[in-house]
Amino acid sequence: MEIQSIKNRFGIIGNSPALNHALDVAVQVAATDLTVLIIGESGVGKEAFSQIIHTLSARKHNPFIAVNCGAIPEGTIDSELFGHEKGSFTGAVESRKGYFETVNGGTMFLDEIGELPLGTQARLLRVLEAGEFIRVGSSKVQKTDVRVIAATNKELMDFIHNGKFREDLYYRLSTVPIRVPPLRDRKEDIPLLFRKFVVDFAERYKMTPVQLDDEAKNLLINYPWPGNIRELKNIAEQISVLANQPVIGGNELRKFLPERNFNRLPVLASLPHGEFANEREILYKLFFDMKKDVTELKKMFLEILQNPSLAGSAAHYTNESLLNDYNLNGENQKGIMAPGIVQQSIISSHKQPVIYSHNDEIQQHEEVEESLNIMDKEKELIEKALKKHRGKRKDAALDLGISERTLYRKLKEYDINE
């Protein structure tokens, strides 16, 4: 069967090579009873591929059921899939057939397969290998003939390495893997999909379909679409309903595209959103800087013990180095309080040596243990920020990376007098 006729039949829009390849594999494997694993991000249309495979198979006149494994509580998923006997657990007032009984002879689509508990994975593996299952609370082995199509938006190999997914089940499921490309890898398909959606919504809401100028079209194509086709459809509906003009420009389109940070690496946030996370990250940054300075000072101290003649130069170098990194107020360029210079005590998770320097000689050496309580450090940061900005809450909150409202709450919480 030609790929174009499949697209027309199932309403699939796009001509990207990756999409055509995935459809070609689905058509070829449909006539068999092989287990298929569909891999793709959320919103790319994985369920549509499962329906294509079932509809083109010899099981097309038998039942088809889609099960979202992540939406069923862990305590009841065995009962849902394999059934249970009366009295097998609290609330089991009667026997119940599971999906593998009711769909016998048909096809079952298991979406988010990575969310299955390990015990359920073992039961599923037995169904795939021997076509057998046992109801919860029963000892009777039953037979079933169900074709399983699984899907995931995660990398199951990572789950395997973390002990969250069975390796034998993975290889049993991925007899034929199909990778559905994300929308950002199908840039040539984005204008086609958008046009289809706005025409559909125009018909539904009895209005003229909106159009995009060249700037808006380029903006639409280059947007990363983390929500894939589902997100594009939502944006198209918003524009169709809320746009004030028939032709949308770039500035107008930007109002509908959410501003997101797509860098998934941890960063020190400076926005007023997610205030708790920002405060926590400030403390993490503080402790990280402390640990780095402690490591350097320990190294220097060991060198001094081994060669006392280095004491004078080491003290001078450490003071100069740290003063270059921090300003006279004890803050670095990012507004994080300095963990201390040579003349101050060094804070760590255990006792650390504190070095005092005077006249190029080591005068004394003692051990100080200081609290690392997060609340104490947070209070200290707030007090220093207020002192730095002379009691101006707005500037202090900006420096700390929190909102002024949160700062006011912290002042009350810690009973800080400005």
Q: 281 vs 3, 268, 272, 390, CA distance in Å?
A: 50, 6, 13, 24
Cβ-proximal residues to 402 (8 Å cutoff; 6+ apart), any chain: 272, 275, 278, 279, 410
| Residue 328 confidence (pLDDT) | 43
Single-letter amino acid, residue 64: F
| Residue 148 confidence (pLDDT) | 97
Residues 193/199, Cβ–Cβ less than 8 Å: no
- What is the three-class DSSP state of 240? helix
| Residue 330 confidence (pLDDT) | 46
| Residue 294 confidence (pLDDT) | 74
| Residue 18 confidence (pLDDT) | 94
| Residue 377 confidence (pLDDT) | 77
* Placement of tokens 């593998």 in the chain: 100
- The alpha-helical segments, DSSP class H, found in 14-117 are 17-30, 46-55, 77-82, 99-102
Quickly list DSSP for 160-204.
Answer: HHTTSS-HHHHHHHTTEEEEPPPGGG-GGGHHHHHHHHHHHHHHH
Cβ-proximal residues to 35 (8 Å cutoff; 6+ apart), any chain: 128, 147, 148, 149, 150, 172, 173, 174, 175, 176
* Cα gap 294→296, rounded to integer Å: 5
| Residue 342 confidence (pLDDT) | 39
Helix axes 311-325, 275-306, angle to 10 degrees: 160
| Residue 146 confidence (pLDDT) | 97
Task: Name beta bridge partners: 197.
Answer: none
Structural domains of the chain, ranges and CATH numbers in brackets: 3-181 (3.40.50.300), 194-254 (1.10.8.60), 269-418 (no CATH)
| Residue 335 confidence (pLDDT) | 45
Distance from CA of residue 361 to its chain's centroid?
A: 53
| Residue 357 confidence (pLDDT) | 43
Listed as ranges, residues in the chain with pLDDT below 70 are 1, 260-288, 291, 306, 308-373, 418
Residues 99/65, Cβ–Cβ less than 8 Å: yes
pTM metric for this prediction: 0.61
* Placement of tokens 């299955």 in the chain: 116
Residues in the chain: 418
